[in-house]
Amino acid sequence: MLDLPGLWLEAEDRQLLRQPEVAGLILFARNTESPRQVAELVRAIRAERPDMLIAIDQEGGRVQRLRRDVLRLPALADVAAVDAEPVESVARAAAWVMATEMLACGIDISFAPVLDLDHGRSQVIGNRSLGGDPDRVSRLAGAYIDGLHAAGMAATGKHFPGHGWAEADSHFALPIDERSLDDIRRTDLVPFAALAGKLDGIMPAHVVYSQVDPLPAGFSTRWLQDILRADLGFDGVIFSDDLTMAGAHAVGGMDARIDAAQAAGCDMLLICNDRAAAEEGLVHAQKQQLQCPSRIARMLTRTPAGSDYRATPQWRQAVTLLREFDLV
- Known binding residues for substrate: 57, 65, 128, 158-159
DSSP code, position 304: P
Q: Is 171 a catalytic residue?
A: yes
Nearest C-alpha neighbor of 36 from the set 104, 96, 99, 111: 104
**7-10: which pairs have CB atoms within 8 A and are 24 or more residues apart?**
7/31, 7/32, 7/33, 7/37, 7/41, 8/41, 8/44, 9/41, 9/44, 9/45, 9/48
Instruction: Provide the annotated binding site.
Output: 57, 65, 128, 158-159
Indicate left, alpha or beta for 64 from its phi (over 0: left) and psi (-120 to 50: alpha).
beta
| Catalytic option among 119, 171, 226, 249 | 171
Give me the phi and psi of 298, to 5 degrees please. Answer: -65, -20
Nearest C-alpha neighbor of 157 from the set 45, 41, 76: 76
- Beta strands per DSSP E along the chain: 24-27, 53-56, 58-60, 63-64, 109-110, 156-160, 176-177, 201-204, 208-209, 237-238
For 152-221, give the DSSP string: T---EEEEET-SSS--S-TTTS--EE---HHHHHHTTHHHHHHHTTT-SEEEE-S-EETTT-SSBGGG-H
102: Cβ contacts below 8 Å, ≥ 6 apart: 56, 58, 66, 110, 153
- Beta strands per DSSP E along 41-88: 53-56, 58-60, 63-64
Rounded-to-integer distance, Cα 209 and Cα 178, Å: 6
Tell me the residue length of the chain: 328
| Catalytic option among 241, 242, 267, 284 | 241
Query: Which residues are catalytically annotated?
Result: 171, 241
